[in-house]
Amino acid sequence: MTRMLIIGPPGAGKGTQAVRISERLGIPAISTGDIFRANIKGRTPLGQEAKSYIDAGDLVPDSVTNRMVRDRLAEADTADGFLLDGYPRNAAQVEELDAILAGLGQELDVVLKLTADRDELVQRLLGRAQKEGRTDDTESVIRHRLDVYDAETAAVVDVYDRRGVVREVDGLGTVDEVSQRIMTALS
Ligand code: B4P
């Protein structure tokens, strides 16, 4: 049973690696970014609430995000473990996740931290922009998302570091190389 987070700046490879880890460990990968994007595409009320924040590269308000994660973690498929991708992203979300897990009688086993330098992150996201055309993958929004990460999310790693659950993996190199490092770090 594995309950884990994957954390790192935009472009570090969280979404890419989350899919692989999920298949390998047989646990659901839950990406808050993907859930928001699916809701935007489906024009749901949640999507309408989130869209302007995502387009600007800002965090969606905690009230919206926390409720969404609480509902998702209550679903039956998470009983044997899960991989959260993109959450928590600030101190208030850490508190909320602690409360959700305490309510379920669960604890996190591991927090996987993916690293990469800023130039590489910007290049990857600009590369994705050409392929996928995500509204938040323009250069100015990418730089803003990186600033938001430094201002709000980097401290989340420190919290889990103090709890002794962080395993850091170098996100540079090919997708396969990074996957290999992750599997070694998790074994
Ligand atoms: P996310 O969807 O989490 O977007 P992201 O940080 O860019 O990560 P993503 O997983 O997509 O990219 P990855 O690094 O895998 O968030 C988007 C927005 O949603 C946020 O800005 C915010 O507005 C909102 N949001 C989400 N969660 C929230 C929360 N908890 N609270 C509030 N708001 C929230 O990959 C990037 C690119 O790199 C890809 O093109 C990939 O192919 C490439 N890549 C990956 N690994 C590579 C490698 N080894 N080599 C070369 N390229 C690689």
pLDDT value at position 170?
A: 98
| pLDDT tens readout for residues 123-170 | 999 999 999 988 999 999 999 999 999 999 999 999 999 999 999 999
* Exposure string for 53-79, b = 16+ CB within 10 A, e = fewer: bbeebebbebeebbebbeebbeeeebe
Alpha-carbon distance of 6 to 94, in angstroms, equals 13
Q: Which residues of the chain have pLDDT under 50?
A: none
Tell if the pTM clears 0.90, that is, is over it: yes
Angle at alpha carbon of residue 165, lines to 161 and 168, rounded to 5°: 70
pLDDT value at position 184?
A: 97
User: Among 68, 84, 82, 78, which Cα is nearest to 6's?
Assistant: 84
pLDDT value at position 35?
A: 97
CA of 45 to the centre of ligand 1 (A): 23
- Catalytic hit among 20, 134, 143, 167: 134
User: CA of 185: how far to CAs of 99, 167, 169, 171, 181, in Å?
Assistant: 27, 7, 7, 12, 6
- Catalytic hit among 20, 118, 128, 143: 128
Flag whether 15 is marked binding.
yes
pLDDT value at position 64?
A: 97
Residue spans per domain, the chain: 2-186
pLDDT value at position 133?
A: 85
Q: Does domain 2-186 have CATH number 3.40.50.970?
A: no
CA of 86 to the centre of ligand 1 (A): 8
Kindly give the number of the ligand 1 atom that is closest to the alpha carbon of 145.
21
Whether residue 51 lies in the annotated active site: no
Contact 165, 108 (CB under 8 A): yes
Whether residue 143 lies in the annotated active site: no
Whether residue 128 lies in the annotated active site: yes
Whether residue 134 lies in the annotated active site: yes
